Amino acid sequence: MNLIDKTLQKITPADSASRAAAHARMERLTMPTWALGRLLDLAEDLSGITGSIKPPVKRKTVVTMAGDHGVVEEGVSKYPQEVTVQMIHNFVAGGAGINVLARQAGAKVVIVDMGVKGDISSLVKKGEIISRSIGRGTKNIAKGPAMTRDEAIRSIEAGIELAHKLSEITDVFATGDMGIGNTTPSSAIIAAMTGCDVDAATGRGTGIEYNQLVRKLVVIQQALNVNKPNPKDALDVLAKVGGFEIGGIAGVILGAASKRKPVLVDGVISTAGALIAHGLCTQSVDYMIAAHKSVEPGQKAALEKLGKVPLLDLNMRLGEGTGAALAMPIIDAAVAILTKMATFEEAKVTG
Amino acid sequence: MNLIDKTLQKITPADSASRAAAHARMERLTMPTWALGRLLDLAEDLSGITGSIKPPVKRKTVVTMAGDHGVVEEGVSKYPQEVTVQMIHNFVAGGAGINVLARQAGAKVVIVDMGVKGDISSLVKKGEIISRSIGRGTKNIAKGPAMTRDEAIRSIEAGIELAHKLSEITDVFATGDMGIGNTTPSSAIIAAMTGCDVDAATGRGTGIEYNQLVRKLVVIQQALNVNKPNPKDALDVLAKVGGFEIGGIAGVILGAASKRKPVLVDGVISTAGALIAHGLCTQSVDYMIAAHKSVEPGQKAALEKLGKVPLLDLNMRLGEGTGAALAMPIIDAAVAILTKMATFEEAKVTG
């Protein structure tokens, strides 16, 4: 059996007994019933995920997956493709948004080359990034499939392997992305997997003007028309209109779920990866936590399909895992409430 | 001149030069323009508040103001009045929601008796809480004014004095409340100050049933009819339909603003206090940060009047300062982005 199938078999539903025990304790805490709302919902989810009423959440890792996209030759992005590699150097130097926000949250950042176009072998040699490169950028989805089915499988397997390895030092995973042009395949995946219209799935990415947005809509529709991805076959969707880093993100989610670890899903690219994971294994949603509502409109349809409501809504659209890192203190707070707040009996307060 | 007038005179607009400098730097950071959205807005606000592009935010204090309310004799709350004092003991023991969330945020909690009914002199003697008690609970607002105008002034002055004293050890203030029945005066203040209907200003507080909610609506309408608070005179509104802890909260906000320190405003009771502060000094809104959207519907009209959009929306309705404490890591993250993220030039990334 291959690694994907083996991993899917290990993904079981969240533990209902731990959920119930956490729920019962939180109903006795010194506050009006469920008065901390979604903080308590989250604590209950974390109990179900980890199978514990004291969910371990201390060690956090953001896995930021990078890849390039052949479709940028269609003029869908504001920035040139070399920015992907430039930003990887910025990550390594510690100056990017994800570095700053992960440090604030006490999280480790792992940068993975899933298939960027430029040369970053010097960074790989120095051990500053991990290489799981499937190829030097995908092919142009407006003209044909992004990658072969085998490459799609390998991109997901790379994410699974990485999550399995990192799970030894990680309690909470977070996904992130870097790749100029990657809102285009993400929107294509979302339109394909949810059945929503291309315009509902598509936004301005890095901040393109209206004329370029119209061009992007045409390109995404063309990618769907040319490739005809099968929404019942997530591997087909990933291969035809996806990206290497999006496959990697799906793999990290599945790998984390198979180890019963929570995964904070970042913005629209990560949520597209989550749709691929969900397409392969419905049950994997139990392990996903939607970190934040992106400015990108496509994320809405994707989150609805996954049945998730994001924790934060701060008008963000940077990616990299920044929304996931910013949501981490809420995870810590939820667990602290579950484990450290006094009950009515303990505090001798009239319930 | 009295302390309130002296304090109001010291409240100046946020510093526009610091705002502009912070804005200019953040436009050059390595991300698409303003891609971290409200995190950047917040960093800009903090620069304007503190007059610095490196806003100090490390030392945080939650001031939780407690008071009792004569109107509970009308049957507006689910919990008996003695819970106010029981919860103060819970605060002192460190087991309440605000203790847990403030610890997570690295914030100090200061509990202040602004006028509870029960005896807590032993806690005051031991120095575990601060007493600024104006009286042993307000009078029943359904029958007449909550307090005299002089008591209203003294409650605000107590908050100002406390904020001035705490400002020596505090970079970021947060307000919180404790007081069985205190959503009733808060809703009355909101209806009076914003002109919204009583039903738009009123919710289920600790979780009352529908019949009791109807009773609460009648009581609040009666309080407004009997007292006729003058919305152009915030002291009149506070005296007639307010509470001692709500005056204290207004005072903390004004005191912090006069020291150019940001104040995280918690839920509906704190926002009612913020309306009183705003009524006394429009400019004080520059120093307020709305921490979270409460379940209580009245907060909406109050926030609109203040022109604020809350940072978090997590279905919370506990008070105590819990929403403010939960928002603190977002403050830290905003300042970290402003001060620690690399610019395009520094990182050699194509802008």
pLDDT in tens, A295-347: 999 999 999 999 999 999 999 999 999 999 999 999 999 999 999 999 999 99
User: How high is the pLDDT of residue B195?
Assistant: 98
CB contact under 8 A, B96 and A38: no
pLDDT tens profile B22-48: 999 999 999 999 999 999 999 999 999
Distance CA A144, CA B219 (A): 69
User: Are A323 and A267 in contact, with CB atoms under 8 Å apart?
Assistant: yes
Chain B contact for A209 (CB, 8 A cutoff): no
> In this complex, which of A36, A95, A349 lies closest to B342 when CB atoms are compared?
A95
* Residues B147/B138, Cβ–Cβ less than 8 Å: yes
Interface of A with B in 107-136 (CB under 8 A): none
Task: Name beta bridge partners: B62.
Answer: B109, B174
pLDDT of residue A270: 98
CB contact under 8 A, B333 and A348: no
d(CA B127, CA B129): 6
Alpha helices in A167-209 (DSSP H): 183-194, 198-201
| Angstrom distance (rounded) from CA B222 to CA B201 | 14
Instruction: Map residue A305 onto helix, strand or coil.
Output: helix
Question: Is the Cβ–Cβ distance between A175 and A266 less than 8 Å?
Answer: yes
| Residue in this structure with the two tokens 């994410």, named with its chain if needed | A159
* CA distances from residue B6 to B2, B92, B160, B171, B251 in whole angstroms, order as listed: 6, 33, 11, 22, 12
| CATH of span A12-55+336-347 | 1.10.1610.10
| Nearest beta carbon to residue B95 from set A86, A95, A347 | A347
Q: Would you call B316 and A38 a contact, using CB atoms and an 8 Å cutoff?
A: yes
Boundaries of CATH 1.10.1610.10 in chain A?
Answer: 12-55+336-347
Beta strands, E only, chain A: 60-67, 107-115, 130-131, 172-178, 263-265, 288-290, 292-294, 312-316
Q: What is the DSSP letter of A74?
A: G
Nearest by CB to residue A95, choosing from B41, B322, B341, is B341
* Chain B residues near residue A326 by CB distance under 8 angstroms: 39, 329-330, 333
Smallest CA–CA distance, residue B302 to chain A, in Å, is 20
Give the type of residue at B91: F
B92 Cβ under 8 Å from any chain A Cβ: no
Chain B residues whose beta carbon lies within 8 Å of the beta carbon of residue A30:
87, 90, 95-97
| Residue range B73-91, pLDDT digits in tens | 999 999 999 999 999 999 9
Out of A82, A209, A320, A346, the active site residue is A320
Q: What is the mean pLDDT of residues B132-154?
A: 98
CA A138 to CA A136: how far, in whole Å? 7
What CATH code would you report for B60-331?
3.40.50.10210
Determine the residue among A28, A39, A345 to mutate to test chain B binding: the one whose Cβ has the most chain B Cβ atoms within 10 Å. Answer: A39
- B326:A322 CB<8 A: no
B351 has a pLDDT exceeding 90: no
Query: Taking residues B151-173, what's their average pLDDT?
Result: 98
ipTM above threshold 0.90:
yes
- Least CB–CB distance from B97: residue in A89, A314, A337: A337
Q: What are phi and psi of A173, to 5 degrees?
A: -95, 155
Q: Who contacts B218 (Cβ-Cβ below 8 Å, separation ≥6)?
A: none
Taking the whole predicted model, whether its pTM rises above 0.90 is answered as: yes
Average pLDDT, chain B: 97
Residue type, B267: G
Kindly state whether A340 is in contact with chain B, defined as any CB-CB distance less than 8 angstroms. Answer: yes
CA terminus-to-terminus distance, chain B: 54
| 3-state SS, residue B255 | helix
The stretch A99-127 carries a mean pLDDT of 97
Considering only residues 29 to 88 of chain B, which have any Cβ-Cβ distance to chain A shorter than 8 Å? 29-33, 35-39, 41, 78-80, 82-83, 86-87
| pLDDT score of A231 more than 80 | yes
Residues of A in contact with B346 (CB under 8 A): 95
Q: Does A264 touch chain B (CB under 8 A)?
A: no
Q: How far is A350 from chain B (nearest CA, A)?
A: 6
Answer yes or no: do A342 and B90 touch at CB < 8 A: yes
Q: What is the DSSP string of B41-103?
A: HHHHHHHHHHT-SS-----EEEEEEEE--GGGGGS--SS-THHHHHHHHHHHHT-SHHHHHHH
What's the N-to-C CA distance of chain A in angstroms? Answer: 55
Q: Is A319 left (phi over 0), alpha (psi -120 to 50) or beta?
A: left
Q: Which helix (H) or strand (E) holds A181?
A: none
Q: Does the pLDDT at position A177 exceed 80? A: yes
Separation of alpha carbons A88 and B55, rounded Å:
29
Please give the Cα distance from B268 to B182 (Å, whole number): 9
C-alpha–C-alpha distance, residues A158 and A134, integer Å: 9
* Candidates B93, B207, B349; nearest CB to A90: B349
Token pair belonging to B126? 């031991």
- DSSP state letter for B327: H
Catalytic-residue membership of B320 = yes
User: Residue A1: what pLDDT?
Assistant: 75
- Cα dihedral A145, A148, A149, A152, rounded to 10, equals -90
CB-nearest to B101 from A37, A100, A333 is: A333
* Residue ranges matching CATH 3.40.50.10210 in chain A: 60-331
**What is the average per-residue pLDDT within B153-174?**
98
Q: Can you tell me the mean pLDDT for A273-289?
A: 98
The Cα–Cα gap between A285 and A77 comes to: 30
3-state secondary structure of A343: strand
Q: B1: pLDDT confidence band, cut at 50, 70 and 90? A: confident
* Confidence class for position A10, pLDDT limits 50, 70, 90: very high
Residues of B in contact with A100 (CB under 8 A): 333, 336-337, 340-341
Asked if A185 and A141 touch (Cβ cutoff 8 Å), the reply is yes
Which residue does chain B place closest to A30, by CA atoms?
Answer: B96
Please tell me the distance from the alpha carbon of residue B343 to that of residue B209, in angstroms, as a whole number. 55
* Mutation site, B27, B28, B36, B182, interface A, largest A CB count within 10 A: B36
Compute the average pLDDT of residues B197-226: 97
DSSP string, B301-338: HHHHHHT---SEEEEE---TTHHHHHHHHHHHHHHHHH
